[in-house]
Amino acid sequence: MDLPYRVLAPGEAPPSDTVAPPRRPRWSDTLAYIVDPDQFCRQNLARHGPIFQTGVFGGTTVFVGDPAAIQMAFNGDGIYTEIGLPPTTMAMFGEYSLFQRPDLHRQRKAALRPGFTGTLLSTYVPHMHRVIAHHLQTWSAAAPLALVPAVEKISFDVLAPLLLGIPFDQGDLALQGLPIASKAELKRLYKTFFDGFYGLVKWRSLLTAFGRGYKARETLINFMRAVIQRRKANPEPEPEPTDFLGMMLAEQQAEPDGVFSNNLIENQCLLQLWASHYEVTGLAASWLYQMGQYPAIVERLRIEQAQVMGNNPFDEVTPATLKQMPYLEATIKETLRVLPPSSTATRRLTQSVILDGVHYQKGWSLIAEPRIAHAMAAHFTNPDQFDPDRFLPDRDEGRPNEFIPFGGGVHACLGAQLAMTLMKILALHLLNRFDWQGLGTATFVQFPLKQIKNDYQIQLMSRSTER
């Protein structure tokens, strides 16, 4: 492979003219990053540039926001990097996640991809329309709306049936006979599971966030196992798959000794609902917050929507229709640029690497950080300004390894198309039914995912033109 960087052989000394990344790791870095990742990244970017050393999560962790260094971090699997997530996070992901050695990762990801793209993604769209329309009928302009809880309900009720095949339009009856008897309990366990991912101590005690999260994980895996067993016990042969679990079960039946073992299916049901639900909720709430500040952008979106849709009903919108709305996509991308939910790659160097005269030492960790990459004036004009036009063809900002909300390389987010499609359909319905404005400035939960706090409210105004 022709690499734009040099990988040192074991025991090989770096050239005499190489330098280490600036800044020295500090004992307080982990706490500073967890408390406010935005401030941590912005301050160090201003002082040291887009590449700098830290002590985040122990050892030496180099934050990278420069495109060449990001590409180096993304593309080293099996050559000079390995997964570098904290032990607590790896334990929560589990043995059958995608975060495994590169050969297993590629194999599993290729097998899972049809569940989030192409034909199956198109079959998800009518369900998205139906659930979104139902929920928005309950949104009222009579009183302020707590933004994140309202969006979270839509996200869960859209995604749980698509990923698990559970018909939550039947309410808790859909869970009858399963180890978790209510949707509220299922969501509570997911929250406990999520909170355990970045526990600082890998101690399976209920006194620790990790211990509580791991216990919730075990309960959720048992639940997923029961869901799968119930699905397999159905005497009626299933038609073509219409959900993610159905796709995996069909592949397992077609090739019993293939990639889709029972353990893999259980783990993917657990993780894909977790990841999709939290990511989509955060993105949708952030987009609504941004649009509430820019009525001129909202008006441009409505003009684009009218040009593409005419008087056609929303339930005729397909992924192909959505591709004809570049400005809508640009507003979503700009939301992801200014409010990226999290870092996107943590790798540990298994060999030393030289890139642009900088020596990255074996054993160090690398974090590709959107909060740095997305703030660089070298790649984004006036980066502190919310400007969706930067993602239109005339501007062509946000090139690979400069815009990284969904990661990159072999570990790019598997559900990115699903998230974007759901966000676009939600946006169409919202633009048609409501005007809205935020009530004050939002405050954010910063770690491990950036998300508006639950108490933030918006004021809705109904539109007379709704369909």
Q: For position 118, which CATH number holds?
A: 1.10.630.10
Beta strands in 76-206 (DSSP E): 81-83, 145-146
User: Residue 1: inside a domain, yes or no?
Assistant: no
Pair of tokens at residue 51:
């590449």
Other CB atoms within a 10 A radius of the CB of residue 396 amount to 9
User: What's the distance, Cα to Cα, between the start and end of the chain in Å?
Assistant: 55
- Residue 258 · residue 250 · CB < 8 Å: no
Instruction: List alpha helices for 311-415, DSSP H.
Output: 319-322, 326-338, 370-373
Predicted TM-score of the model (pTM): 0.94
- Residue 69 · residue 63 · CB < 8 Å: no
Other CB atoms within a 10 A radius of the CB of residue 440 amount to 8
Pair of tokens at residue 101:
């050695």
Residue 346 — φ and ψ, nearest 5°?
-125, 115
User: Residue 414: inside a domain, yes or no?
Assistant: yes
Q: Which pLDDT value is given to residue 169?
A: 81
Range of the domain at 305: 6-462
Pair of tokens at residue 310:
């005419």
Pair of tokens at residue 180:
């978790």
Residues whose CB falls within 8 Å of the CB of residue 130, separated by 6 or more in sequence, listed in order? 315
82-92 exposure pattern, b = at least 16 Cβ within 10 A, e = fewer: ebbbbebbbbb
Residues of the chain with pLDDT under 70: 1-3, 100-103, 464-467
3 state SS of 146: strand
Residue 2 — φ and ψ, nearest 5°?
-85, 100
Please calculate the CA angle 404-407-412 and round it to the nearest 5 degrees.
140
Strand-pair category, 61-64 with 365-368: parallel
Q: Quick one: DSSP state of residue 206? A: T
Other CB atoms within a 10 A radius of the CB of residue 47 amount to 10
User: Residue 122: inside a domain, yes or no?
Assistant: yes
Distance between CA 19 and CA 261 in Å, rounded? 47
Axis-axis angle for helices 244-254, 147-164 (nearest 10) = 20
Residues whose CB falls within 8 Å of the CB of residue 127, separated by 6 or more in sequence, listed in order? 158, 161, 162
| CA proximity to 418, closest of 160, 150, 115, 148 | 115
Q: Which pLDDT value is given to residue 168?
A: 84
What region does 94 belong to: left with phi over 0, alpha with psi -120 to 50, or beta? left
Distance between CA 365 and CA 61 in Å, rounded? 4
Distance between CA 12 and CA 52 in Å, rounded? 23
Checking 389-397 for CB contacts under 8 A at 24+ apart, the result is 389/330, 390/330, 390/334, 391/329, 391/330, 391/333, 391/334, 392/326, 392/327, 392/330, 393/326
Q: Which pLDDT value is given to residue 94?
A: 87
**Length of the chain as a residue count:** 467
Q: Which pLDDT value is given to residue 344?
A: 74
User: Residue 467: inside a domain, yes or no?
Assistant: no
User: Residue 38: inside a domain, yes or no?
Assistant: yes
User: Residue 453: inside a domain, yes or no?
Assistant: yes
DSSP lists the bridge partners of residue 348 as 82, 365
Say how many domains are in the chain: 1
- Residue 376 · residue 70 · CB < 8 Å: no
Q: Which pLDDT value is given to residue 407?
A: 87
User: Residue 292: inside a domain, yes or no?
Assistant: yes
Residue 154 — φ and ψ, nearest 5°?
-65, -50
User: Residue 138: inside a domain, yes or no?
Assistant: yes
Pair of tokens at residue 415:
């559900």
Residues whose CB falls within 8 Å of the CB of residue 16, separated by 6 or more in sequence, listed in order? none
Distance between CA 167 and CA 360 in Å, rounded? 50
Residue 51 — φ and ψ, nearest 5°?
-135, 125
Distance between CA 432 and CA 430 in Å, rounded? 5
Distance between CA 228 and CA 247 in Å, rounded? 12
- Residue 246 · residue 165 · CB < 8 Å: yes
